[in-house]
Structure formats: structure tokens, C-alpha cells
């Protein structure tokens, strides 16, 4: 997959040289190119923003640098001899991180991990002149995505979040192919359940024992225990996710576990 990132802070993306993503880049699985928006400014101060029409606080990113940057970054590669019929090369998809975007979820990440080419346009200040999106739509699909209900100073950290989430789903990026399958929000994982607690050696640490069932070798009992833990954790941290599970996906044992968990949550809320 090719990923282009346009930003006024190229250094922000140094972390993409580390760990899984750094290795995937070295292996040629990921081709990540970071571009400085200011290379498409021509004044002494490399101006990228201006005051908003209609008034109001803050600054808006100017359309001209963005238009030129997107044209340059998404231009088809130069070939030595232009073929008479252009190949049906898969084009780019533009992602605009913005707090006003559609909430980014694992479902988006799964779909985007199959794309050949993504372009992230990192806005700062109050956002980018809206004509840039309308103009880009003439040439490529555009998605405005938000990573949560809070406001960041710019799209850079949101882009890091999305690039990492998308990249780790690509074949050959995760060390362990099963890890992504078992993720809390992976489609078809344990429904809508959060992953419960995990343990490793030593079996006793600071007087705390690993739950004995995990050492029992009884795989059925381990699976049942993990599901109980997942139900309890979900009831505690994300009760709204439980309401999305169809009734017939919860057997009697599940319902007993949840009844116990609800009693606990209830007693805590009374104590608070």
C-alpha cells in the first residue's frame, strides 16, 4: 500500500520509522511518503493560513497550497513511454482527519487496509478551505474521519492513529497473524466483547497468582473463563456494547455472569 501524508509538520511522522510499521516499510509492504505542505507556497513567509470569511476566531488553511499539493502528490507516475491506453491504475483515496468527520472505527480500518493508495491531508487551525474537498472529489473519493469526540490541535496525531490501525491489518505487517483476528473490535471476534485480562510467567508475582484455570491445560475451561472475563470487563467499561449483542448470542451461563457483573456495577454506583 502507498500512503502519502501532507502536513506542515513532517517531523511529526518520525514514529512511522519504528516498530511494525518501520519494518513493513523496510520490507516494501508499505510505501509511506511524507510531504511538507509549505513546499507548495511561494511567498517569503510560506503562508498556509488566512483569516476566515464571515469572521470568527482562528485561521483557515488557504486552498492554493492544498490544491497544488494534492495535484502533485496524486499525479500518475511518469512512465518512459506513455502507453496508448492508460492502465486502469487504482487511484488514491483522500482521507481528511477532522473532529467533524465520521467516527473512525475498526470497520473503516478493515476496508481501508485493502486500498492500494491512501492520501492523508492533515489540517491545522480551524480547518481547510472547504473548496479543497469539493475540488478533490472531482478526481478521487474523499472521506472525512474523526478519531473520537474530543478536539486535537491538528490532524497529525489522528493520522498516526489511523495509519497504525490500518497498517497492522495488512498481510505481513503483524508478527502474529492471529493477533488481529482476536482484537476486541475485530469483526467476528468475541462479538462485541472487550478482551479480558492476560497473564504470563512467573505464576506468582508479588504474592499474586495467575488464575489457576489458565494453568490447568483444560482448553474448554480456559475459553469459558476468558469469555466470562470479557463479559465482566465489557459490562464494567462499555455497557452500551452489551446492548448490541443479540439475545440468542448469550447463553444461560453468559446471562448469569452478566447478572453478577450488573449487581457489582450497581453496588459501586450506589457507593459513589
Q: Which is nearer to ligand 6GU, 56 or 148 (CB)?
A: 148
* Phi and psi angles of residue 30, each rounded to the nearest 5 degrees, phi first: -120, 130
Q: Catalytic: 178?
A: no
- Does residue number 146 form part of the binding site for ligand 6GU (CB under 6 A)? yes
- Does residue number 60 form part of the binding site for ligand 6GU (CB under 6 A)? no
Catalytic residue among 168, 226, 227, 232: 168
Q: Catalytic: 256?
A: no
Furthest CA-CA distance within the chain? 75
- Does residue number 151 form part of the binding site for ligand 6GU (CB under 6 A)? yes
Which has the closest alpha carbon to 233: 200, 204, 192, 180? 192
d(CA 14, CA 29): 18
Please identify, among the stretches 69-77, 140-148, 204-212, 258-266, the one whose residues bind ligand 6GU according to the rule CB under 6 A.
140-148
- Does residue number 14 form part of the binding site for ligand 6GU (CB under 6 A)? no
Buried b (16+ CB within 10 A) or exposed e, 32-71: bebbebeebbeeeeeebbeeeeeeeeeebbbbebbbebbe
DSSP 52: P
Q: Which is nearer to ligand 6GU, 91 or 154 (CB)?
A: 154
Cell 500518475 maps to which residue?
A: 76
# chain residues binding ligand 6GU, by CB under 6 A: 13
Q: How far is the CB of 155 from ligand 6GU (least distance, A)?
A: 5
Return residues touching ligand 6GU (CB under 6 A). 97-99, 101, 146-148, 150-152, 154-155, 158
Residues identified as active-site: 99, 126, 168, 183
Amino acid at each position: 500500500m502507498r500512503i502519502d501524508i501532507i502536513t506542515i509538520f513532517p517531523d511529526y511522522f518520525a514514529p512511522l520509522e519504528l516498530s511494525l510499521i518501520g519494518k513493513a516499510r523496510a520490507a516494501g509492504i508499505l510505501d509511506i511518503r511524507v510531504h511538507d505542505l509549505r513546499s507548495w507556497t511561494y511567498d517569503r513567509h510560506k503562508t498556509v493560513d488566512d483569516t476566515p470569511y464571515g469572521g470568527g476566531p482562528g485561521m483557515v488553511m488557504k486552498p492554493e497550497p492544498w490544491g497544488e499539493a494534492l495535484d502533485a502528490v496524486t499525479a500518475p507516475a511518469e512512465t518512459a513511454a506513455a502507453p496508448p491506453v492508460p492502465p486502469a491504475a487504482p487511484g488514491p483515496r483522500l482521507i481528511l482527519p477532522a473532529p467533524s468527520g465520521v467516527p473512525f472505527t475498526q470497520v473503516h480500518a478493515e476496508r481501508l487496509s485493502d486500498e492500494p493508495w491512501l492520501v492523508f491531508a492533515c489540517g491545522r487551525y480551524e480547518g481547510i478551505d472547504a473548496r479543497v474537498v469539493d475540488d478533490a472529489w472531482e478526481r478521487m473519493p474523499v472521506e472525512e474521519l474523526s478519531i473520537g469526540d474530543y478536539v486535537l490541535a491538528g490532524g497529525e496525531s489522528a493520522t498516526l492513529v489511523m495509519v497504525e490501525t490500518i497498517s497492522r491489518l495488512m498481510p505481513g505487517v503483524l508478527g502474529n497473524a492471529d493477533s488481529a483476528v482476536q482484537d476486541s473490535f475485530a469483526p467476528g471476534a468475541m462479538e462485541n466483547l472487550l478482551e479480558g485480562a492476560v497473564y504470563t510467567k512467573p505464576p506468582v508475582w508479588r504474592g499474586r497468582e495467575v488464575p489457576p484455570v489458565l494453568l490447568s491445560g483444560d482448553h474448554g475451561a480456559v475459553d469459558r473463563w476468558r469469555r466470562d472475563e470479557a463479559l465482566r470487563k465489557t459490562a464494567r467499561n462499555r455497557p452500551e456494547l452489551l446492548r448490541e449483542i443479540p439475545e440468542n448470542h448469550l447463553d444461560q451461563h453468559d446471562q448469569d455472569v452478566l447478572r453478577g457483573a450488573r449487581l457489582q456495577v450497581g453496588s459501586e454506583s450506589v457507593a459513589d
